[in-house]
């Protein structure tokens, strides 16, 4: 029997790669739901190729346009429709909507699936307490899709209590070997040129500032229930090793794979020993792994980790993600400088009204969404004031 699959954010990078794997293994899968915000051209191609049972198009104008021209397809305009769409649990959901827009549908769809793979950082960082509650309540299996967290998850076999230390690797982005003082006039076009991964602009900037590793450390803390002080970040330009886990029994394991997100996606989809096309073991890379602890002087964003508690999910995580989203957006629009991203993040986290949120647990999704909007406005206003005073 074919697995029933839903992909939230099917027109994005992770969504498209998931569908490419399904295309090569059609006999195993049946597409139950695809979703997008406004990418009509791509979703039309996907409808023709994969014939999904249901669609969600959240942009009202695009939704009406699609519905007018495609009356044979069941299409909905928002994620409140999930209750109508799902009569019983399907087998697998890929949650791949980027940004805060992915948080609500991720939480709401958990009850409708036996297994969920989450590629949305914001969901895990800001809403983990809500997500984990839903996972337990609905007995839904969870797979992290980030290459680092998927690697840790694979190495531990879900026995998180045996972990002593976690080492997350970082390519270092485009500025690993540049002195910080030489980055004052870096333009967006330079910062988005990642040396190893083909990623979107936002995540490429996060890689360049090393904020993405701050996010990944916080994610690892939440998913694997390990103290922040026991999670280290190592620079590894080859991006061949994705994680190293040291266990309490003295064993240390590493996981390697090509710089190809299809590998963790593929392994989240299959329980069998199916084969994916991949590169041969690279002996030269194994002999030149070149690990180093990353200098916090060069990448001060790593200092942000100390603001967070290992013991609980708090609203401060939403402050971090929201402020960073806004600052990256301002940088991409050439309204602030590259080095301002980390500087302003530190200022925002040190604001009295936000520091007190470190011990305040999110009560519900609406609270996180309201805080996100407020933090973005506050961050933007601080940058405007700063530019005027300059």
Is 322 part of any domain?
no
Distances (CA, A) of 47 to 17, 34, 237: 15, 9, 39
The answer to whether residues 137 and 168 belong to one domain is no
On whether residue 350 sits in a domain, the answer given is no
Same domain, 193 and 182: yes
Q: Do residues 140 and 153 both lie within one domain?
A: no
**Residue 281 domain flag:** yes
Which 8-state DSSP code applies to residue 141? E
In a domain, 342, yes or no: no
At 184, the pLDDT band (50, 70, 90 cuts) reads confident
Among 112, 129, 145, where does a domain finish?
Answer: 145
Q: Are 116 and 184 in the same domain? A: no
Query: If pLDDT is split at 50, 70 and 90, which confidence band does 168 have?
Result: very high
pLDDT at 180 > cutoff 90: no
Domain assignment present for residue 286? The answer is yes
Q: Which letter does DSSP use for residue 113 in this model?
A: B
Range of the domain at 77: 3-145
Which tokens belong to 280? 């041969």
At 387, the pLDDT band (50, 70, 90 cuts) reads low
Same domain, 81 and 176: no
Rounded Cα distance between 21 and 104, Å, is 26
Strand ranges (DSSP E) for the chain? 3-8, 29-36, 54-57, 74-76, 92-95, 115-118, 141-144, 163-170, 231-235, 241-247, 252-256, 292-293
Query: Does 244 share its domain with 293?
Result: yes
Shared domain check, 129 and 15 = yes
* Residue 58 shares a structural domain with residue 155: no
Q: Residues near 60 by Cβ (< 8 Å), separated by ≥ 6?
A: 77
Asked whether residue 329 is assigned to any structural domain, the reply reads: no
Query: CA-to-CA distance for 244 and 6, rounded, in angstroms?
Result: 31
Q: Which backbone phi and psi does 118 adopt, to 5 degrees?
A: -110, 120
What is the chain's Cα-based Rg? Answer: 21
Final residue of a structural domain among 95, 129, 145: 145
**Higher-confidence residue: 1 or 377?**
377
Through-space distance between the first and last CA atoms of the chain, rounded to whole angstroms? 65
194: pLDDT strictly greater than 80: no
Q: What is the pLDDT averaged over residues 234-239?
A: 90
> In terms of C-beta density within 10 A (0-12 exposed, 13-18 middle, 19 or more buried), how is residue 206 classed?
buried
Question: DSSP assignment, residue 332?
Answer: H
What is the mean pLDDT of the segment spanning 4-24?
Answer: 95
Q: In what order do the strands lie in the sheet with 115-118?
A: 74-76, 54-57, 29-36, 3-8, 92-95, 115-118, 141-144
In a domain, 138, yes or no: yes
Cα 112 to Cα 325: distance, rounded to the nearest angstrom: 30
How many domains would you assign to the chain? Answer: 2
- Is 288 in the same domain as 174? yes
* Residue 290 and residue 172 in one domain: yes
> Same structural domain for residues 102 and 125?
yes
Q: Which of 111, 126, 145 is the last residue of a domain?
A: 145
Q: Look at residue 332 and tell me if it is in a domain.
A: no
Task: Check which CATH number belongs to the domain holding 29 and give it.
Answer: 3.40.50.720
The model's pLDDT over 301-347, given as tens digits with 9 standing for 90+, comes to 999 999 998 887 899 999 999 999 999 999 999 999 999 999 999 99
199 touches 208 (CB < 8 A): no
Q: pLDDT averaged over the chain?
A: 91
Statement to judge: residues 126 and 45 lie in one domain = yes
Residue 390 has pLDDT above 60, yes or no: no
Supply the DSSP symbol for 203. H
């Amino acid at each position: 029997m074919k697995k029933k699959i839903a992909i939230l954010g099917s027109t994005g990078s992770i969504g498209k790669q998931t569908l490419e794997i399904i295309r090569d293994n059609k006999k195993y899968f049946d597409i139950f739901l695809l979703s997008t915000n406004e990418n009509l051209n791509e979703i039309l191609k996907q409808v023709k190729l994969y014939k999904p049972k249901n669609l969600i198009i959240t942009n009202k104008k695009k939704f009406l346009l699609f519905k007018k021209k495609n009356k044979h397809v069941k299409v909905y305009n928002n994620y409140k429709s999930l209750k109508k769409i799902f009569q019983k649990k399907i087998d697998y959901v890929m949650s791949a909507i980027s940004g805060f827009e992915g948080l609500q549908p991720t939480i709401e769809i958990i009850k409708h699936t036996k297994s969920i793979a989450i590629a949305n950082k914001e969901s895990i960082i800001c809403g983990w307490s809500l997500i984990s509650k839903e996972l337990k309540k609905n007995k839904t299996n969870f797979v992290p899709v980030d290459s680092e967290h998927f690697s840790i998850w694979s190495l531990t076999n879900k026995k998180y209590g045996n972990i002593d230390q976690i080492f997350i690797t970082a390519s270092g982005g485009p500025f690993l070997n540049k002195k910080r003082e030489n980055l004052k006039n870096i333009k967006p076009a330079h910062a988005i040129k990642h040396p190893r991964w083909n990623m979107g602009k936002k995540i490429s900037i996060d890689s360049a500032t090393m904020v993405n590793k701050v996010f990944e450390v916080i994610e690892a803390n939440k998913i694997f229930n390990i103290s922040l002080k026991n999670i280290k970040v190592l620079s590894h330009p080859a991006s061949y090793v994705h994680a190293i886990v040291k266990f309490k029994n003295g064993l240390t394991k590493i996981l390697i794979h090509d710089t190809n997100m299809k590998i963790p996606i593929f392994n989240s989809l299959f329980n069998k020993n199916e084969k994916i096309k991949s590169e041969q073991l690279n002996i030269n890379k194994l002999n030149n792994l070149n690990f180093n602890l990353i200098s916090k002087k060069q990448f001060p964003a790593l200092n942000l980790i100390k603001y967070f508690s290992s013991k609980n999910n708090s609203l401060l995580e939403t402050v971090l993600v929201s402020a960073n989203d806004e600052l990256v957006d301002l940088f991409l629009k050439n309204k602030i400088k590259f080095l301002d991203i980390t500087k302003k993040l530190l200022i925002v986290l040190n604001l009295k009204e936000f520091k007190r949120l470190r011990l305040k647990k999110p009560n519900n999704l609406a609270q996180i969404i309201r805080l996100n909007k407020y933090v973005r406005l506050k961050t933007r206003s601080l940058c405007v004031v700063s530019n005027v005073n300059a």
